Structure 1
C-alpha cells in the first residue's frame, strides 16, 4: 500500500527539514518547497493527500493560494503560520483550509493533525463518490454540485466535508459537538465561525433562501438538520 504523500510549502529551510524528518519518520512520503511557483508546478504532476502551507510566502499571497488549493484542487490543506490572531485562523478556515497550526509548534502535533485529517477523510468516505438529493447531484470526486440543467458549481474540500456529513445523516440532528469531532479544524469560536461560513456558502450554492432554508435547517442551540432525500451512487 502506497504511503500518503504530504507536501510542505514553507520558505524557512529549518522548518521544511524538521517537518520532512518528522513526517517521514512517521511513515509518510514528503515533497518540500520553498516557493509557491515550485509547489504549483509540482501539483501539475502529482496529487498530494495533504498540503501543509505557510501563509508568509515570498512569491505569493498564502491565503489566496489556500483558497485556490481548496476550491480548484480539492486538496486537504493545513495552514502553518506565525499569525496567531483568532481572525487570521478564522479567515484561513473560511477560505477552505481544513486545519490551522500556529508557529512555533511541536512536529509531533503536525504529524497527529495530518493523521487526523487522513483518518477523517477515510472514515467519512462513502462507497460512492456521487450523491443525489432534491434535484441536485454532488460529485465528491471532482468537488462539484450539478443542478438539473447540468450546470456545475465548485465547492472546496472543507465545504465538501460538511456536505458529506449532512448527506450521510439526512433528517437527523447533527450537533456542533458531533461536527467538531468529525471535522476538526480548530475549536471554540474559531470552529463555530468557520462552520457558519461554510454552511452559509453551501446554502448559497444550493440556491437556498438564507432567511428560510429548505435543505439545511439550523436548530438554534442544538445544531443542524439536513432535510433532503438522499441517494448514493
Structure 2
C-alpha cells in the first residue's frame, strides 16, 4: 500500500484546525475526510474506509475520548489524539483506552505528519496475530480480543490489553522493560509521568491471575520490567 492510498480522518470541532490540517495532509499525498463532531465521524468510519483517525479530545457533545473508546471496541483503525497542553490526565486516559499516540496543541504539522507515518508503518504489526496461543490454562484469540480458560471462563480484552498480552506471548519468560513495551505497543518514547504500561499490567492481572495482588503469571522485575512467567503453546 502506498502513502497516497492512506485515508486520514480528522475530527475536530475547530474549523480553523481541521481544514488547514486536511489541506496540509492532502499536499503530503494523503486522502482526507473531515468531521466536526463524533456523529459525522462515525458515519465516515462506517462508509469511507478510514486508515487512521486524528481525534480532538475536547469537542461539544460526545468527546474524543468517548469516540476513541468506541473505535477501539468496534474497529481496527489506529487513533492519534489531539490534546491541550494542560490535559495530561486526558492524554494518559486516551492511551489507556487504546489510542496509538497523541500530539499536544498547538502542534507543528510536520511533527503530526511524522507521527502519522510512524503509526501507519506499524499497521502490519498492530494486528499481533497470536490466535490460539495457550498459556496457564488460557487460550488467547487475538483477532477477537478474547481469552478462554479451560474452566469455562471467558474474558474480553481492550485493544491495548490485547496488544500487550500478544507481545508477552511472543516473548515468554523474557524480561521486557516498560520503555520497550511502550515502544512496541505505542511507538513512543517513555515519559516520566506515563504509567500507561503499569495500568495495563494491573488490568491484565485482574483478568488472568487467580490473585492479582500476588501475581504468578505477569511478574514485576526490578528495574521497571515485566515478564510473562509461563510456557506458551503455539498451535501448529
Normalised by the length of structure 1, the TM-score is 0.85
Moved more, 79-88 or 128-137: 128-137
1:136 aligns with 2:129: no
Q: 1:87 to 1:179 in 2, by over 3 A?
A: same
- Paired with 2:46 and 2:36, the residues of 1 have a C-alpha distance of 17
Contact 1:18–1:107 under 8 Å retained in 2: no
Q: 1:71 Cα shift?
A: 3.0
Per-residue CA distance 1:62-106 (angstroms, 9 max, x = gap): 222222222333442211022534323222222332222111101
Uncovered stretches (5+) of structure 1, i.e. residues with no partner: none
Specify the SS of the correspondent of 2:192.
Answer: helix
In the comparison of the two structures, how many residue pairs are matched?
Answer: 232
Q: In structure 2, what is the equivalent of residue 167 of structure 1?
A: 169
Uncovered stretches (5+) of structure 2, i.e. residues with no partner: none
Specify the SS of the correspondent of 2:169.
Answer: helix
Q: 1:21 to 1:156 in 2, by over 3 A?
A: farther
Specify the SS of the correspondent of 1:141.
Answer: helix
- Paired with 2:229 and 2:123, the residues of 1 have a C-alpha distance of 23
Specify the SS of the correspondent of 2:122.
Answer: helix
Relative contact order: is structure 1 or structure 2 higher (C-alpha 8 Å, sep ≥ 6)? 1
Q: In structure 1, what is the equivalent of residue 8 of structure 2?
A: 6
RMSD: 2.5
Q: 1:222 Cα shift?
A: 3.8
Q: 1:124 to 1:99 in 2, by over 3 A?
A: closer
Normalised by the length of structure 2, the TM-score is 0.84
State which of 19, 27, 45 in structure 2 corresponds to 1:25: 27
